[in-house]
Structure 1
Amino acid sequence: MVEIKQTALAGVLEIFPKVFKDQRGYFFESYREDWLQQEGVAHGWVQDNQSFSQKGTVRGLHFQRGDYAQAKLVRVIQGKVLDVVVDLRKDSPTFGQSYSALLTTEANNLMYVPVGFAHGFSVLEDAIFAYKCSNYYHKESEGGIRWNDPKLAIDWRVSEPIISEKDKDWPTIEEFKLSEGGL
């Protein structure tokens, strides 16, 4: 049993697995291939990643280009994050639009991020974050969009964000569009 919600950005899905609770704790299926297949999504996931981030951290917005483009299936193992995607598909009617969802330990929900999107998250409670990738990470194919681009106007819900130097230097969405046109 799973609930899958289509979002305002075509291809981006929120997934809510059925959680079984009793006096011992809880159990749920955190991933099933057939969930995505019923939505027309088929990937051979090749890489799993996990990170720990302290409250106030913003990671992103990241993507991979060309032959190393990645779809991701993300979730929180512990804590709470605001998960954010930005549509970078050059022919998409929603190019440059963002979508965000709260991923929490309590909901055990997931977000499916297709190829062609930048992805990031802000940490609202210390969090262990996990994601499956449809392709291997390739440093030379890495790209990003500036997390605080005024045109995107993303409310990350953190007052004093902790940002990596790399994430401070990505181009704006307009600079990306001028230089690359999209993914």
Structure 2
Amino acid sequence: MELKSTSLDGCFEVKLRSFEDHRGSLTKVFHQPTFADLNLPLSFPEEYFSISQKGVVRGLHFQVPPSSHAKSVTCISGSIFDVAVDLRKNSPTFGKHYTTVIDSRQPKLLFIPEGFAHGFMALEDHTIFLNRSTSVYDPECDAGIKWDSCGIIWPDIPPIVSEKDQNMPLLSMFNSPF
């Protein structure tokens, strides 16, 4: 695994190693000694995946304190346009975003620290997104900002957005607790 810095402090891309042979491939998405060497969290008490059709936008989500969390995300089938937004009010990159394409055929993950919103758009039908979080889901701390309120240039695909995500507050109206 190789760590690559992004334009947002504390947010990293991690290039994953895949092993291929005549049977297919194997990709390791977590290895505790490597994460320790890279100074990334070692405990992810919650993990889930979602399956999305092309154009589905999920996000921009986060949890507020006391249940805020870091995330390690990847795409295990298909591809996504992935987004992290810095919500740390004392950060020089507050309100700025980082985008990357995560393609299951060229495996990598994005590590998103506490104090960031996260979201993605599925670029293909039947895309499978995998999320690991450093805290468990807490409905009392569940929060988000509207997906199109941060100046992100999303792919030119008609977006499919849930009612909940469509009704999130604008970034300009969000009072950050981070």
TM-score under structure 2 length normalisation: 0.94
Quote the offset at 1:29 in angstroms.
1.6
Report the residue type matching 2:173 in the other structure: E
Aligned residue in 2 for 1:173: 171
Letter of the structure 2 residue corresponding to residue 156 of structure 1: W
SS of the residue corresponding to residue 125 of structure 1 reads coil
Contact 2:58 2:119 in 1 (8 A): yes
Higher helix residue share? 1
Partner of 1:67: helix, strand, or coil?
A: coil
For 1:112-123, list aligned pairs within 5 A: 112-123=111-122
In the alignment, what sits opposite 1:84? Answer: 83
CA contact (8 A) 1:56 1:158 kept: no
Structure 2 unmatched runs, 5+: none
SS at match of 1:37: helix
Structure 2 distance, partners of 1:82, 1:35, is 26
Q: Report the RMSD for the aligned CA atoms in angstroms.
A: 1.2
Give the 3-state SS of the residue equivalent to 2:173 in structure 1. Answer: helix
Counterparts of 1:93 and 1:182 in 2: how far apart (Å)? Answer: 16
Q: Do 1:12 and 1:111's aligned partners in 2 also have CA atoms closer than 8 Å? A: yes
Instruction: Tell me the distance in 2 between the aligned counterparts of 1:11 and 1:82.
Output: 20
Shift of 1:19: 1.4
User: For residue 133 of structure 2, what is the amino acid of its counterpart?
Assistant: C
Q: Which moved more, 1:112-121 or 1:21-30?
A: 21-30
Equivalent pair of 1:124/1:158 in contact (CA under 8 Å): no
Unaligned residue ranges in structure 1 (runs of 5+): none
Q: Distance in 2 between matches of 1:139 and 1:167?
A: 15
Counterpart in 1 of 2:129?
Answer: 129
Percent identity reads 38
Within 2, Cα distance between the matches of 1:39 and 1:93? 23
Tell me if 1:102 matches 2:112.
no
Which residue identity lines up with residue 124 of structure 2 in the other structure? E
User: How far is the alpha carbon of 1:182 from its aligned partner?
Assistant: 4.2
Alignment of 1:67-78 (within 5 A): 67-78=66-77
Alpha-carbon separation, structure 2, partners of 1:146 and 1:24:
42
C-alpha contact (below 8 Å) 1:73/1:131 kept by paired residues: yes
CA distance in 2, matches of 1:182, 1:99: 20
Equivalences for residues 149-164 of structure 1 within 5 A: 149=149, 152-164=150-162
Deviations 1:145-180 (A, max 9, x none): 11111xx2212204310000011111111100xxx2
Q: TM-score under structure 1 normalisation?
A: 0.92
Which position in structure 1 is the counterpart of 2:43?
44
Deviations 1:44-75 (A, max 9, x none): 11011111010010110001001110111111
| Contact kept? 1:20, 1:26, Cα under 8 Å | yes
